[in-house]
Amino acid sequence: GPDIRVAASLGLRPDTRRLLVGHMGCYAALPGLGSVSDYVLARGRAAVLLCAELTSLHLQPPTTDPQQVVTHALFGDAAVAVVVRPGDSVPDDAPVAPAPGAAGPPLEVVDLASHTDAGTGEHMTWRITDLGFRMGLAPEVPDVLAKHVRPVVEDLLARNGVALRDPVGWAVHPGGPRILDTVRDELGLPESALASSRAVLNDYGNCSSATVLLVLDHLRRRGGLVPGAHAVALAFGPGLTLWAALLRVPGG
């Protein structure tokens, strides 16, 4: 599998522990981040989360199906890796409040939440056909997110003593322009809160699970994440499933 090839190309030790998970879709980075964080907390040593997506492999032959045209115009390829360390092992020289464009401060994983609306599973599909995988993306997806995004986010924040107005950073998976508009409107966010999400969508497209990590990287490089500040990451995918992560800049 690709995990074996990656490990070999990086010269990792033969006893490196790996876990390959596939076909979770656009939200996979956040449950992956939660699982990696749990491992780091339990074992007391660093681990790596790698999200690699090659959606262009599934480009179908020329079609008059507008759903397929829109889907493949929207999606792109990307690979992003995140190193997760135990809280007491963050390097002393890690940037805390770097200038815009620098790598940005480290982020603590505070808590995660998820919600699946199983009755809407047909709105986002991934089917095997004689010509390869075929993606399906219904126009009703933003409407489903509109029902659930605010309750999920408010519950996640409230149980950690954070108000909806408090996070200074928002990393919203840019599944498409309408999805970003829906999240903005339902959470009452200013348009500026989605600047990183829209920049990534413009530059790279929807790169499935890797996208929210690209947005987090862009957000960190923009500056403004001061010690003690909170950030929220949101990702959506098949199910329909919504995942949210509460993050925090160490210190403050």
Quick one: pLDDT at residue 36? 96
Hey, CA dihedral for 83, 89, 93, 97, is it positive or negative?
Answer: positive
Pairing mode of beta strands 169-172, 230-237? parallel
Q: 110 or 65: which carries more pLDDT confidence?
A: 110
Residue 242's contacts (CB-CB under 8 Å, 6 or more residues apart) are: 27, 114, 115, 116, 145, 148, 149, 152, 234, 235, 236
Measured CA to CA, the distance from residue 221 to residue 81 in angstroms comes to 16
3-state secondary structure of 22: coil
Quick one: pLDDT at residue 88? 60
Tell me what the mean pLDDT of segment 40-63 comes to.
86
Intra-chain end-to-end CA distance of the chain, in Å: 43
For all residues of the chain together, what is the average pLDDT? 88
Q: 101 or 65: which carries more pLDDT confidence?
A: 65
Measured CA to CA, the distance from residue 50 to residue 176 in angstroms comes to 23
Q: pTM of the full predicted structure?
A: 0.89
Domain 1-91+103-252 CATH class label:
alpha beta
How many alpha carbons lie under 13 Å from residue 97 in its C-beta half-sphere?
8
51 in active site: no
Q: Domain spans of the chain?
A: 1-91+103-252
Identify the residue whose tokens are 């107005």.
Answer: 165
Q: Please tell me which residue in 24, 26, 107, 187 is annotated as part of the active site.
A: 26
Query: pLDDT tens digits, residue range 89-125?
Result: 555 444 443 444 557 889 999 999 999 998 887 777 6
Query: pLDDT tens digits, residue range 158-213?
Result: 999 999 999 999 999 999 899 999 999 999 999 999 999 999 999 999 999 999 99
Residues β-bridged to residue 247: 109, 231
Tell me what the mean pLDDT of segment 19-45 comes to.
93
Measured CA to CA, the distance from residue 245 to residue 252 in angstroms comes to 20
Task: Give me the percent of the chain exceeding a pLDDT of 70.
Answer: 91
Compute the C-alpha angle 23/208/137, nearest 5°: 80
